[in-house]
Structure formats: C-alpha cells, structure tokens
A and B are shown apart, each in its own frame.
Chain A
Amino acid sequence: MLYRLVLLLLSPMALAAQEPVQFENQILPILEANCFQCHQETYTDAEERLREPKAGLRLDGAGWILRGSDYSEVLTPGEPDDSLFYELIALPADDESRMPAKGSPLADAKIELIKRWISEGADFGDWKGKPGPKKAHAKVTPKKTLLLQSLAEGTSEASAAGITRAAGTLAQITSALPGTGLLRVDFAGNREQVGYEAVSALMPLRELIVELDLSRTKVGDRAVGKLARMPRLVKLSLAQTEIGAGALSDVATLPELRVLNLVGTKIGDGDLRRLAKLEKLETLYLWGSKVTAGGVKNLRVLLPNCRVVLQAGLPAPEVGAEPQGRRRR
C-alpha cells in the first residue's frame, strides 16, 4: 500500500492532480484494452462463438455502466469504495474475484486513475458509447394474484380435519395462493364417483375455496345448492354435467364469482336470466350448451361487462382435404 502511494506521488499524474480525469481519453482506453473482451454487447468471436457480457455487465456505453450487472450496480459516483467497478480491480492479484478475470492485473497507476475518476464524480464527459438500456420494466403482479390476495384477507387456515375429510371423498385439494389458506379443489381422476356426497364433504372448507372444478362429475342441482354457501368462490366449472336451471339460481348467489363454465350443459336461453345478479362475472363459457346467439344477446343487456364464449371459432377443414374416417377400436 505504502509502495503504491509512493508511486502515485512520484507519478506525473499526481502532479497534475488538479486536472479532473477525462473519461474518454484516459479511462476508456483502459477498459477497451482490459475489459471489453468480456464486458461488451454480445458478439461472435473469431471461433464463431457467441460472447455474452459476463455477469450481464457491459462497459461499452455510459448507460450500461450506470445500469450495472445482472446482479447489482457497480458504480457509485464519488464513492470508489462503494463501487465494485473499482473494488474488484483493486483486489490482490491472486484473488479469484479480481478483474480482469484473466490475465495480469491492471497497473497500479491505472487502478488509481479509475479510483480518482470515480472520486471526482464519474463524469463521462461527452462520451455516450453504445446506446444504453431502456428503462427497466416495472415488476407487475398479475391481476389474478391481486384478486386472491385481497380475498385472503381475514381468512383463517383450513383445519386439517376438514381437509382430510374432503380428501377422503376423492378431491384434489391444492393451495390457490401459497402462504394463505385459500384453496383450489378439483376431482381429476375420480370424476365419475363425485356427486352430492363429495360436494357436501367440502363444506368444512367452504370459506376457503376460491376455485372449484366439478366438470364431468355426477353433480346435479342438489349438490350445486350446497355451493351457495361459498363466500369466496371466484371460479366454478360445471362443464359437462347434468345440472339444470335450478342450479343457476344457486350459482347466482355466489358473491365473488368471476368465471363460470357451463360448457356442454343443458342450460338454454331461458335459463340465463337467472345469472343477472352475478355483477362481478367476467367470463361465461357456454360452448356446446343449448344457448343460442339470441340468448347471448339478451344476456349482454343484463351483464354488459361479461365476456361470453359461445363458439369455438375453429378453422374450417382444409378445402379439398381427403375426408378421413374415424379410427375405432
């Protein structure tokens, strides 16, 4: 250290210490010669290999240097001791974190120059280099997660007994929002065995169920009647079940329902008005039900904000394609 200091005092730069360091003339050449090889825009090297900037750190533009690496900022103007940019080049030669990562360390004079440049405020002068990164995109929490988070407030966790009992009836119970008590329930793998009993067994959990998939089960109107007591149910599928109009009256009392799936049911145009109370309903699936375009039109008057899916809009078969018979076993 002392040796370094002596060197510094003797060097011509020390004499000119009043002159601020000029980035473009004094620092940039050091970076070009010692760092660019690993810290510039992705390029293809002589062996046709793609070279991405190490640690995501680019030193070939002012914006990039200020952005830092994929993990952190590397430059704090005025504070060399809080700048990895300096700290890593000043490490002992045998430290494996020392930069440049390969080859010999920078000459002491160069290290001191970089330190001084940072101390003086890391001014890039007119130099911009390669165009910098766009502003980072803000982190977004998906709408669905936000909704569940708000519903989770004030809930208590499911009692283990309740879960055991419900699971005894073939339900697949998973967390709808990890860290909270909210639950998702379906019956995949056991659907044919699910009816009134299975739905009744869910009642101890009724406060916590936000998603319930009863598609292709044997539930009827009596079972659906039970659901009316689920205050947080957001998403319900009754697709391909035998439910009738009566079930819709019970479904319509669900205060938080956003998504209702009635695909392949016997529900028809006349039954839809029972859903008018579902003010929060966002999506209603009706493909393969008895509902017609006319029925949907009437419903839109009652629920103007709800997306109603009636048709699949599948591509028409290829023109001129050989009709192929169905393979039957």
Chain B
Amino acid sequence: MRIKKYLQSRDEASRREFVSQAARGMLGLSVMGQLPMASALGLKMGLTGSDDPVPLKPATARNVIYLFMQGGMSQLDTFDPKPGAETQGPVEALRTNADDVQLTQYFPHLARQMDKVTVVNSMHSTQGAHAQGQYYMHTSYAMRGTIRHPSLGAWLSRMAGKNNPTLPGHVLVGGSINTASGGFLESGHYPLPIGDPASGLTNSKLPEHVSTETFHRRLERVEQMNQAFAEKFDQKQVRAYADAYQQAIKLMNSKDLLAFDLSQEPDAILDAYGRNRFGQGCALARRLVEHGTRYVEVVMGGWDTHIDNFDRMEELCPTLDRALASLLADLDARGLLEETLVVLATEFGRTPRIVEGRNGRNHFPKAFSCLLAGGGIKGGYKYGKTDATGEFIEEDGVTVPDFNATIAYALGLPTEHVMHSPSKRPFTVADKGRPLTHLFA
C-alpha cells in the first residue's frame, strides 16, 4: 500500500521537523552541535542562531567563495567547448592539466589549475529571465511576490554560525542584495555589501569629530534603550538589529578590519589576480576567508551577450581566467583550498545557435555549465554531458536545487532541516535538491 505512505509524505515537512526537534531535545548538549552548544554554556560565539540550534552534518568545507557570472555565461565559449561544431563559432578548444577536461582558448591560466576543479556541464534551470534565474540560482526557489527566500550564504550563517566573531560571516562584493539576500532570516544573516573591493569598507572609522569617549557614552545610551526595547518587544528582528549594531562596533575597534584592506597585499599578488574589479574582488575574497569570513560572493557582470558574443568573450574570459586561476593557486598554496569550496555559477547558459546578424547568443536555461573546486570536491573531473551541438543534455542532468544541495552538503548543512518563515511556511536549504555526493573525493 504505497499510497498510504504517499499521502503521509505530503505532511513530511512537519514530520521531519518534529523528529529533528525531538532528537535535539533528547541529545541536548551531547550533540556537540557547533556554536549553539557553546552558547548553551554561556560562551560568546557570534550572533547567530543560538536560540534555535540546527543539528549539522559532517562537512568537507568550512568556507565558500561563490563567483557569480551575472547575465548568463556562454557555456560553449568557456567550459563546454564543442570543437568542430558549427555552433562553436571561431572559438577553439584548449587542453588542460586534467586529461578529461577541455576549456576554450580564452583560459590558458585556468588550464593549469583544472586538476583542482570539477566541471558540471549538465546544469539546467527552470528560469529563462535574468532576475528570476539569478534568484533561483541563489535560493533554489522560484521568485514569489509573497516571500523572500534566503541565499546559501544566509543559510550558512543561520545554521552554522560565524567563525571570526568580529568579522561579518557573509560578504557580497559587487552585485546586488536582491539576489544574495538573507530572505526571511534575521538581518544579521544578510551579506555585508561591498561595492569596490579596492576601497574596502568605507565608513568604518569614527568620524573625526567624535572622540572615542563620546562614542562609548553614546553607545551605552543606545544599549540601555535597546535593552528596554528588546525586553518589551522580544522580537527576533529587534535583537538582530542590536546584534548587527554590536557587530559593527566590534569591527571598528578590531585589527581584523585589515582583512578588508587590499593594500596589505603584495603588488605581485594583486597583479596576478588582474587589476580590475572582479580580479581584486577575488583577492579580497581570499583575504576575508583567510581571516574567518565563511561565505563571500563576488559578482562579475557583462555576460549577457545577445550582441557580438565573440568580441565580448575576448574581454570577459581573460578577466575571469586570470582571477579564477589566481584564486585557486593562491588558496591552494596557503592551505586554504582544502577547506574552501570555490563555486562558479551563472543564472543560465546561452544558445548554442549563433544569432545571425547580431553574432550573439540568447538565453539558454536548458543546458549550461558551472564549476566546483576545493572544499573536498574531486579535481580534474567532468560531470554531465551535452550532445555534439550543445543543444541537449545527454547524461546526468543537474538541477539548480541539486547543485545548491551539493554546496550545502559540503558545508554540513542539513538539507532536510525545515525552517519556518515568519509567516510560518516551511523551507529547506536547496528546496528539494539532492546532493551529488559522488563529486566528492
């Protein structure tokens, strides 16, 4: 009687949650969860989720550097070349230091790092418009008018907490807060947005006319007000606000602020990443992770190549090549790559068919490419296959939720753990996605 189970499973969200809550209650301290346990002992461990601990899973990665190619990156011109096919246009394929993996001619530096990378060539998305596609890629849920879903960085912050208590746990370099958002989670899980990597954190020093002493007096007063306020309205939002405030103060007084200062890096390193916004953003991401920020997203725009696709590739790809190759090499040399998952994602791919007249490629959610590297992922590996023209997925299609579930799995976030929005609706990291465990070494 399969149907009984089927009908029951429609109530699964609430059942799962009941089970996990019961387990938590029973195991109590012995779960040795993570930060929450420490907070139960009254230790100060950052501002996250201490009043509602999430039972974590074994992790292979601690950090994520998430590179988002905004606009829809052409898979044929980057990571899924089709040498000889008409759809390939003038672009040639390039061998790499991994036997099974080819790139296009635009990636000579990255070709020397592919032994660290898994290429996923069988991504497909349900969303073919930019805003919707970006949202889906970041949250695993389709955009709705009534609710905002958290992005992966916010889930990590909420479920696993921060590492360095003075640094923000989640940072966004370039791009907009609309996609990489905390969604319905408290404000403390939203990313700290940074516009220009070279200028780091602006406004983080005290204004000249405020002495440290006055500042502290003010702070105390705010504190008292906050306390009264928080006692009266013991709401998550209020507390989150107060926390974020505390956070900012700590950061201002901390040596860790230097994590944001790229001028601390040797010139040779900044040159290697490329003296442009994206390259410097990647260098900043490495610095932040090194200092204990756990999730950094760096956005690179310009991939919406409806017109003059091939001319645009000549500009875009070398920037990406240099920055990503440097990031992988730099992280690895510091021993950080094994605990940092580097992700390259985009909202969708582009049509293999070249649009005549405009020499461009249009949106194509049916088959595109993303990358994973480090953080326990296999190196020199290619997963999924498209046909000879790039029109169809032939093997091992990967949905957006599956891809995100794989990132969550690397971080030890339980994909079946249900969290409720303030409107009491149930959500999980990566929706119904299932992790691709065979991508792990």
CB proximity of B53 to chain A, nearest CB, Å: 11
In the bound complex, how far is the Cα of B268 from the Cα of A323, in angstroms?
10
Q: Are B322 and A172 in contact (CB under 8 A)?
A: no
Q: Are B38 and A163 in contact (CB under 8 A)?
A: yes
In the bound complex, how far is the Cα of B275 from the Cα of A329, in angstroms?
18
Q: Are A142 and B412 in contact (CB under 8 A)?
A: no
Set of chain A residues within 8 Å of B210, measured between Cβ atoms: none
Set of chain B residues within 8 Å of A76, measured between Cβ atoms: 2
* In the complex, B144 has a CB within 8 A of chain A: no
In the bound complex, how far is the Cα of B31 from the Cα of A44, in angstroms?
47
**Set B1, B57, B128: member contacting A50, Cβ < 8 A:** B128
Residues 267-284 of chain B, each 1 if its beta carbon lies under 8 Å from chain A, else 0: 111111011000000000
* In the complex, A164 has a CB within 8 A of chain B: yes
Interface of A is mostly: loop
Q: Are B326 and A314 in contact (CB under 8 A)?
A: yes
In the bound complex, how far is the Cα of B57 from the Cα of A178, in angstroms?
6
Q: Are A328 and B330 in contact (CB under 8 A)?
A: no
Residues 55-74 of chain A, each 1 if its beta carbon lies under 8 Å from chain B, else 0: 00000000000000011101
Q: Are A318 and B6 in contact (CB under 8 A)?
A: no
In the bound complex, how far is the Cα of B113 from the Cα of A142, in angstroms?
22
CB proximity of B55 to chain A, nearest CB, Å: 7
Residue of B nearest to A325 (CB): B267
Contact A314-B263, Cβ < 8 Å, known A148-B58, A239-B335: no
In the bound complex, how far is the Cα of B142 from the Cα of A52, in angstroms?
13
Size band of the A side of the interface?
35 or more
Listed stretches A102-110, A131-139, A248-256; interface member: A131-139
Taking Cβ atoms with an 8 Å cutoff, the residues of A that contact B are 42, 44, 48, 50, 52, 70-72, 74, 76, 81-84, 87-88, 97, 134, 137-145, 148-149, 157-158, 160, 163-164, 167, 172-175, 177-181, 183, 186, 188-189, 192, 237, 239, 259, 261, 263, 283, 285, 287, 309, 311-318, 321-324, 326-329
- For this complex, 12 residue pairs linking A to B, each with C-beta atoms less than 8 Å apart, are A50-B126, A50-B127, A52-B126, A72-B5, A74-B2, A134-B396, A143-B376, A172-B163, A174-B35, A189-B256, A314-B329, A327-B263
Taking Cβ atoms with an 8 Å cutoff, the residues of B that contact A are 1-3, 5-7, 9-10, 29-35, 37-38, 41-43, 45, 55-58, 60, 109, 112-113, 124-128, 163-167, 198, 254-256, 261-263, 267-272, 274-275, 291-292, 322, 325-326, 329-330, 332-335, 338, 365-366, 376, 395-396, 399, 412, 432, 434, 436-438, 440-441
